């Protein structure tokens, strides 16, 4: 099947991003390995520019716009993609117009402001985000950079998995969180080429499990009324990302908010890192008893997708 991107798009993005994105470290902890019952290799995208993997996709997409970027770029996002587009636009020297829900984490709002973007707040619904963004686009003539349903964004996100394999070699399995599916789509295309026999897993909070329900049903089921502390994983899958995930994933693990909070505590206690709830979902998943029982997975790579969380929301 023809997908929105191929592995060559990820390779091109990686070349384009040299000196632009941070080649983030891959860490492991003997204590966490012991708890998981296998070696867990953690790609630390919380140490990326803007504190999240999102800068990979945003920088690739903005960099490919050419003259179309001159009037500016626009997106809607609860935070990390917003910061990523704002920074990519600042580096490109063009305006950024960001639509954010009025309940977005303060640390993410401050990050967008810090990069000089113009923020328009809206109600915290997808319909409000889209309508507000359309109004901003009409007013400014900017180009819209979709948070995940954009091939250049997906290809950029896939470079995290590319770096992971370049650093640690072969893996038995790889896991990434799912919101709109951009990160896991890029990861899936990359892993299937580099480690063809590796199992690919997604993870979602139980309060926002549209991807898990979609995979089980074999058809795209929209997200409705999500209820979770994982603010970066609230959106539905995209028309571009869904076919990739449908055809590549072994399974999608769902985790409770309490399991996510426990994973955040473990990452702080054992690695000294502050990881946001969305970013801690993979560790929460690999620590679930039913996942620990899976055979044939001696080494698993997981992506800690971000570290932007308001201090008062920390569980430690």
Q: Where are the beta strands (DSSP E) in the chain?
A: 26-27, 39-44, 73-76, 96-101, 118-122, 143-144, 173-177, 199-205, 251-255, 299-304
What pLDDT sits at residue 116?
A: 95
What is the length of the chain? 316
- For the chain, the maximum distance between any two Cα atoms, rounded to a whole number of angstroms, is 55
Best CA proximity match to 208, nearest among 123, 297, 126, 311: 126
In a domain, residue 206? The reply is: yes
On whether both 46 and 59 belong to a single domain, the answer is: no
Read off the pLDDT of residues 29-55 as tens digits, 9 standing for 90 and up. 999 999 999 999 999 999 999 999 999
The CATH code of the domain that includes 178 is 3.40.50.1100
CB neighbours of 19 closer than 8 A, spacing ≥ 6? none
Give the percent of the chain with pLDDT over 90.
Answer: 90
What pLDDT sits at residue 126?
A: 81
On whether both 186 and 268 belong to a single domain, the answer is: yes
Checking if the pLDDT of 302 tops 90, the result is yes
On whether both 22 and 156 belong to a single domain, the answer is: yes
What pLDDT sits at residue 312?
A: 79
On whether both 162 and 277 belong to a single domain, the answer is: yes
Q: How many whole angstroms separate alpha carbon 17 and alpha carbon 3?
A: 22
The single-letter DSSP state of residue 234 is -
Mean pLDDT of the chain: 95
The single-letter DSSP state of residue 306 is B
271 touches 167 (CB < 8 A): no
Give buried/exposed letters for 136-147 (b at 16+ CB in 10 A, else e): bbeeeebbebbb
In a domain, residue 262? The reply is: yes
In a domain, residue 131? The reply is: yes
On whether both 307 and 159 belong to a single domain, the answer is: yes
User: What's the gap between Cα 160 and its chain centre?
Assistant: 10
In a domain, residue 1? The reply is: no
Among the residue ranges 23-32, 57-66, 99-108, 297-306, the one predicted with the least confidence is 99-108
On whether both 29 and 137 belong to a single domain, the answer is: no
Checking if the pLDDT of 25 tops 80, the result is yes
CB neighbours of 201 closer than 8 A, spacing ≥ 6? 173, 174, 175, 249, 250, 251, 252, 253, 285
What pLDDT sits at residue 156?
A: 98
Best CA proximity match to 170, nearest among 147, 149, 193, 151: 193
On whether both 59 and 195 belong to a single domain, the answer is: no
| Number of domains within the chain | 2
Sheet (strand 143-144) strand order: 118-122, 96-101, 73-76, 143-144
Best CA proximity match to 216, nearest among 181, 179, 250, 182: 250
In a domain, residue 182? The reply is: yes
Final residue of a domain: which of 102, 124, 144? 144
CB neighbours of 162 closer than 8 A, spacing ≥ 6? 10, 11, 14, 190, 194
Domain ranges, residue 164: 7-52+150-313
On whether both 77 and 167 belong to a single domain, the answer is: no
Final residue of a domain: which of 79, 114, 144? 144
The single-letter DSSP state of residue 238 is P
Read off the pLDDT of residues 226-236 as tens digits, 9 standing for 90 and up. 999 999 998 89
In a domain, residue 301? The reply is: yes
Checking if the pLDDT of 248 tops 90, the result is yes
On whether both 188 and 295 belong to a single domain, the answer is: yes
Give buried/exposed letters for 23-56 (b at 16+ CB in 10 A, else e): ebebbebeebeebbbbbbbbbbbbbbbbbbbbbb
| Residue 273 token pair | 């890192």
In a domain, residue 2? The reply is: no
In a domain, residue 265? The reply is: yes
Give the residue numbers annotated as catalytic, written as ranges.
Answer: 54, 78
Read off the pLDDT of residues 82-121 as tens digits, 9 standing for 90 and up. 999 999 999 999 999 999 999 988 889 999 999 999 999 9
Final residue of a domain: which of 144, 167, 191? 144
What pLDDT sits at residue 179?
A: 95
Read off the pLDDT of residues 141-170 as tens digits, 9 standing for 90 and up. 999 999 999 999 999 999 999 999 999 999
On whether both 62 and 73 belong to a single domain, the answer is: yes
What pLDDT sits at residue 269?
A: 95
On whether both 69 and 203 belong to a single domain, the answer is: no
Q: Give residue 141's region: left, alpha or beta (phi > 0; psi -120 to 50).
A: left
Best CA proximity match to 206, nearest among 180, 233, 181: 233
Q: How many whole angstroms separate alpha carbon 56 and alpha carbon 158?
A: 8
Q: How many whole angstroms separate alpha carbon 299 and alpha carbon 67?
A: 45
On whether both 179 and 301 belong to a single domain, the answer is: yes
What pLDDT sits at residue 310?
A: 81
Q: How many whole angstroms separate alpha carbon 74 and alpha carbon 141?
A: 9
């Amino acid at each position: 099947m023809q997908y929105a991107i191929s592995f060559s798009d990820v390779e091109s993005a990686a070349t384009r991003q040299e000196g632009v994105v941070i080649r983030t470290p891959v860490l492991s902890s003997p204590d966490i390995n012991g708890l998981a019952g296998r070696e867990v290799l953690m790609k630390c995208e919380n140490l990326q520019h803007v504190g999240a993997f999102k800068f990979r996709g945003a920088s690739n997409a903005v960099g490919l716009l050419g003259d179309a970027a001159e009037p500016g770029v626009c997106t809607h996002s609860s935070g990390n993609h917003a910061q990523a587009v704002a920074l990519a636009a600042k580096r490109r020297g063009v305006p950024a117009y960001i639509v954010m829900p009025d309940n977005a984490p303060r640390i993410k709002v401050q990050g967008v402001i810090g990069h000089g973007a113009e923020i328009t707040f809206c109600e915290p619904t997808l319909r409000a985000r889209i309508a507000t963004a359309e109004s901003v686009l009409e007013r400014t003539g900017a180009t819209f950079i979709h948070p995940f349903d954009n091939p250049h964004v997906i290809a950029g996100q896939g470079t995290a998995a590319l770096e992971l394999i370049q650093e640690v070699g072969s893996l038995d399995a790889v896991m990434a969180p799912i919101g709109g599916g951009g990160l896991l789509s890029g990861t899936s295309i990359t892993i299937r080429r580099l480690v063809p026999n590796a199992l690919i897993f997604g993870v979602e909070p139980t309060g926002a499990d549209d991807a898990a329900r979609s995979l089980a049903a074999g058809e795209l089921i929209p997200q409705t009324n999500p209820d979770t502390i994982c603010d970066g994983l609230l959106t539905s899958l995209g028309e571009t990302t869904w076919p990739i995930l449908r055809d590549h994933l072994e399974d999608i693990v769902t985790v409770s908010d309490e399991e996510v909070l426990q994973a955040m505590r473990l990452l702080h206690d054992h690695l000294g890192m502050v990881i946001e709830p969305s970013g801690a979902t993979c560790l929460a998943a690999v620590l679930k008893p039913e996942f620990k029982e899976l055979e044939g997975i001696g080494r698993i790579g997981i992506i800690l997708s971000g570290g932007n969380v308001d201090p008062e929301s920390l569980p430690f």
